Amino acid sequence: MKHVISANKIYLFGFLLAFAALLFDAYLQFHLTSPTCNLVYLERIILFVTVLSFLAGSLYHHTAASNRVFSLSSLLISLIGVGTTLRHAWIQHFPQSQSFNLNPGNYTSKLTYISQWIQSAYSGTTSCSQPQWSWYGITLTEWSFLLFIFLSVIALSQLRHKF
């Protein structure tokens, strides 16, 4: 049975959804001057890569093999986003008493410090433990978690798409 909605349209939907979330995140930071921590920056990088993955999937003519590559890459990136947002939510609900802060300022431009920056992001800081924005009692981190779950479901559904 042939699908009514093409793979390109489903990838386009995932792209538009992730891109809208990225724009909303930028709006919160730059217009409302919402403070951010290292995990938020890492989540944005992962979301940007997810946007690129879904964009590539929406622009490419699909065969069974190419669809498998795009869906697996989108699924992997989305699951990394799920893990990162889950860690951030854990830090918000169970803050650590002692954590160190390595701001991304000048350090991220040097390759030797990127691994330290990622390690410090996952270890959490005091700024990451306090939710800055919520809607209907759900923090932005938890909304991001739900977004990455939904994008994972889209990518997983594409993996089952028959050609």
Chain segment 69-87, per-residue pLDDT in tens: 889 999 999 999 999 989 8
Is the pLDDT at 147 greater than 90? The verdict is yes
Q: Give the integer Cα–Cα distance in Å for 148 and 157.
A: 14
Q: Which residues contact 89 (CB under 8 A, 6 or more apart)?
A: 139, 141, 142, 145
Considering the chain, what is the average pLDDT of its residues? 80
Higher pLDDT residue, 104 or 122? 122
Residue with tokens 């951030």: 88
| Cα atoms found within 13 Å of the Cα of residue 41, Cβ hemisphere only | 19
Is the pLDDT at 107 greater than 50? The verdict is no
Is the pLDDT at 101 greater than 80? The verdict is no
Q: How far is CA 146 from CA 53, 89, 142, in A?
A: 18, 11, 6
Is the pLDDT at 56 greater than 60? The verdict is yes
Is the pLDDT at 100 greater than 70? The verdict is no
Segment 117-145 shows an average pLDDT of 73
CATH code for the structural domain at 7-159: 1.20.1550.10
Q: Give the integer Cα–Cα distance in Å for 121 and 77.
A: 18
pLDDT at res. 152: 95
pLDDT at res. 145: 92
Write out pLDDT tens, residues 25-38. Answer: 888 888 877 667 77
pLDDT bracket for residue 90 (50, 70, 90) = confident
Higher pLDDT residue, 18 or 39? 18
Higher pLDDT residue, 112 or 46? 46
Is the pLDDT at 132 greater than 80? The verdict is no
Q: How far is CA 46 from CA 3, 18, 19, 40, 52, in A?
A: 30, 11, 12, 10, 10
Q: How far is CA 67 from CA 64, 99, 102, in A?
A: 5, 42, 39
pLDDT at res. 121: 62
